[in-house]
Chain A
Amino acid sequence: MKLVTAVIKPFKLEDVKSALEAFGVHGLTVGEVSGYGRQKGHTEVYRGAEYTVDFVPKIRLDVVVSDGDAADVVDVIVKAAATGQIGDGKVWTTPVDDMVRVRTGERGPDAL
């Protein structure tokens, strides 16, 4: 199993969710996060005083999939999240040792 993690632009969440559903992914965990990459932050001006804001709002999305699906799921997310502009985010995968469905106690790929 693989954990696919993506950090994307907040307004792209719906597109990514729809694309994953169409692919056949049936569960998703998302959270609001802040961060920066090459995009860096932005500036805001309050009563003429300028502040740099280093961490910009992003959505972090986690989904565990089978080893065979991982590469495709990454492609699906990348395609759906892309705008071509700087700040589109990143997607990466991590190996997962084990997994349990809390309600039934099923383990491993059965819990997906």
Chain B
Amino acid sequence: MPFDFSKIDTGNTAWVLASAALVLLMTPGLAFFYGGMVRVKNVLGMLMQNYVAIGIVSVLWVLVAYSLAFGKSGFGGFAGDLHQFGLGHMGEQVAGYQGPLAQTIPPLVFVAFQLMFAVITPALITGATADRLKFGAYCVFIAVWLVLVYAPIAHWVFSPEGWLFQRGAEDFAGGTVVHANAGAAGLAVALILGKRLGWKKDPMRPHNLPFTLLGAGLLWFGWFGFNAGSALGANNLAGYAFVNTNTATAAAMLGWILVEKLRDGKPTTLGAASGAVAGLVAITPAAGFVSPMGSIALGFIAGALCSLAVLLKYKLGYDDALDVVGVHLVGGVAGALLIGFFGTKTVGGANGLFYGGGAHLLGIQAEAVGAAVGYSFVATLIIAKVIDLVMGLRITTDQEREGMDLVLHGETAYEMGGTGGGTFAGTHGAPGSVAITQHSTAGV
């Protein structure tokens, strides 16, 4: 159906374009949030995985992934059809967005906004797999994962054509599609990869907590685009999403450091940053469905819950290095389910248990998040296992000891004091350039 370009609202369009740029900034923010937490030998490896996600996903989004996520239902409802392959047919309305859902922004602006969600979702996984995932295998993994896992789940939940959307599942900005999905996938890849060398034995302290806090700040800032932008308009709903996002994040930060104070004796900066991110994750599905008062409760619960959930890995024995499970899976699932309690029609969506809506919404939320998490976990296990068999997913033991920065990228993150020594040895590839020792790149 052709899109009615005369219905475009310039204010809405401007806000969604600005929001898309805000959401893009979240991926560099995530890179630094994670990068500060890894050991000094792996910080560039972590930053690189996050930045290259922007590269790979952006190209694939234009080619096929957008169409698979937001095209008219095809493949028996599994994903969108390929009608918008290569971003063709951008003069048509986005499938399913009609009647009360009719968009007032150009379809191409919607494409740009949704791209940024697709970028950060696979990037989130890198926290679980930190310090040991091969770069080439990672690139292949996120390409396959975007097409076979992200696009279908986005279709089911976000697209009005999707089966979970049509069941009435509520996911305002991606608690299920982005966070629970990435958390389940992170767990799956971490299981296939195995534990880091020396896990639960060697010190694996964060090497630069100021980076982690800076990253958390960028995430918090960018998240206003993520959630308030998901109103797809500059309107009252965006206002609710904005206020709820900030409120829940603040409450979650307080919840996390309160648990730390009681449990560990001291509130930590890492706890404050982690609590904020847990709150951002949990309010994501709920931002346009709960009241500001509800968001205080939701955020506080999520912050306290996630601060406890990050210890699960030590009990159960999986090495989710930077707690993608404890923060994104647990926070995403909690947020999705809490809508079933705190959802209120006065903001948007349906009433939850606490607002006289009974358990109906909670049931649908559980079904949606269960389907997404279950599919993501199983499909990711299979994808990771196949890539592992074909090309190997993990760097060698020697490479892991040496660190990803030097072994995978031939770089060192910090030059302190300038005592590294050495000489300039010419340039690569230029006519008449000096022959340069080729370092082994086997298995990289």
- Specify whether A and B are partners: yes
Q: What 0/1 pattern do residues 33 to 71 of A give for CB contact below 8 A with B?
A: 000000000001111111111000000000000000000
Which of A50, A51, A52 is the most central at the interface, judged by chain B CB atoms within 10 Å of its CB? A51
Q: In the bound complex, do residue B268 and residue A45 qualify as a contact, i.e. CB atoms below 8 Å apart? A: yes
A33 to chain B, nearest CB (A): 14
Which A-chain residue is minimally distant from B326 (CB atoms)? Answer: A47
Binds A, one of B19-27, B138-146, B183-191, B307-315: B307-315
A42 to chain B, nearest CB (A): 12
**Interface class of chain A by DSSP:** strand
- Cβ–Cβ < 8 Å partners of A49 in chain B: 311, 314
Q: In the bound complex, do residue A46 and residue B307 qualify as a contact, i.e. CB atoms below 8 Å apart? A: no
B177 to chain A, nearest CB (A): 26
A84 to B252, alpha carbons, bound, how many Å? 42
Q: Which of B205, B265, B326 contacts A46 (CB 8 A)?
A: B205
Q: What 0/1 pattern do residues 232 to 264 of B give for CB contact below 8 A with A?
A: 000000000000000000000000000010011
Q: What 0/1 pattern do residues 81 to 100 of A give for CB contact below 8 A with B?
A: 00000000000000000000
Q: In the bound complex, do residue B205 and residue A47 qualify as a contact, i.e. CB atoms below 8 Å apart? A: no
Q: Which of A48, A50, A52 contacts B310 (CB 8 A)?
A: A48
Q: What 0/1 pattern do residues 6 to 44 of A give for CB contact below 8 A with B?
A: 000000000000000000000000000000000000001
Which of A44, A47, A51, A53 is the most central at the interface, judged by chain B CB atoms within 10 Å of its CB? A47
A95 to chain B, nearest CB (A): 28
Interface size on B, residues (CB 8 A): 19
A50 to B260, alpha carbons, bound, how many Å? 12
Q: In the bound complex, do residue B311 and residue A46 qualify as a contact, i.e. CB atoms below 8 Å apart? A: no
- Cβ–Cβ < 8 Å partners of B345 in chain A: none
B residues 259-317 near A (Cβ < 8 Å) are: 260, 263-266, 268, 270-271, 274, 307, 310-311, 314
Q: In the bound complex, do residue A46 and residue B263 qualify as a contact, i.e. CB atoms below 8 Å apart? A: no
Determine if B206 is an interface residue (Cβ-Cβ < 8 Å): yes
Q: In the bound complex, do residue A44 and residue B274 qualify as a contact, i.e. CB atoms below 8 Å apart? A: no
Which B-chain residue is minimally distant from A48 (CB atoms)? Answer: B311
Q: In the bound complex, do residue A47 and residue B203 qualify as a contact, i.e. CB atoms below 8 Å apart? A: no
Q: Which of A44, A48, A51 contacts B307 (CB 8 A)?
A: A48
- Cβ–Cβ < 8 Å partners of A52 in chain B: 203
Q: In the bound complex, do residue B206 and residue A46 qualify as a contact, i.e. CB atoms below 8 Å apart? A: yes
A47 to B205, alpha carbons, bound, how many Å? 10
Q: In the bound complex, do residue B310 and residue A44 qualify as a contact, i.e. CB atoms below 8 Å apart? A: no
Q: In the bound complex, do residue B263 and residue A48 qualify as a contact, i.e. CB atoms below 8 Å apart? A: yes
Which of B203, B263, B266 is the most central at the interface, judged by chain A CB atoms within 10 Å of its CB? B203
Determine if B323 is an interface residue (Cβ-Cβ < 8 Å): yes
Q: In the bound complex, do residue B270 and residue A44 qualify as a contact, i.e. CB atoms below 8 Å apart? A: no
Q: Which of A47, A50, A53 contacts B323 (CB 8 A)?
A: A47
Which B-chain residue is minimally distant from A45 (CB atoms)? Answer: B264
A18 to B205, alpha carbons, bound, how many Å? 36
Q: In the bound complex, do residue A53 and residue B270 qualify as a contact, i.e. CB atoms below 8 Å apart? A: no
Which B-chain residue is minimally distant from A51 (CB atoms)? Answer: B203
A51 to B274, alpha carbons, bound, how many Å? 18
Q: In the bound complex, do residue A47 and residue B271 qualify as a contact, i.e. CB atoms below 8 Å apart? A: yes
Q: In the bound complex, do residue A51 and residue B310 qualify as a contact, i.e. CB atoms below 8 Å apart? A: no
A45 to B271, alpha carbons, bound, how many Å? 10
A49 to B310, alpha carbons, bound, how many Å? 9
A99 to B266, alpha carbons, bound, how many Å? 51
Which residues of B pack against A, CB within 8 Å?
203-206, 260, 263-266, 268, 270-271, 274, 307, 310-311, 314, 323, 326
User: What 10 A-B pairs are tightest by C-beta distance, nearest first?
Assistant: A45-B264, A47-B310, A51-B203, A48-B311, A46-B270, A51-B205, A46-B205, A47-B270, A46-B206, A48-B310
Q: Can you name 11 A-B pairs with beta carbons within 8 Å?
A: A45-B264, A46-B206, A46-B268, A47-B270, A47-B271, A47-B307, A47-B311, A48-B307, A49-B314, A51-B203, A52-B203
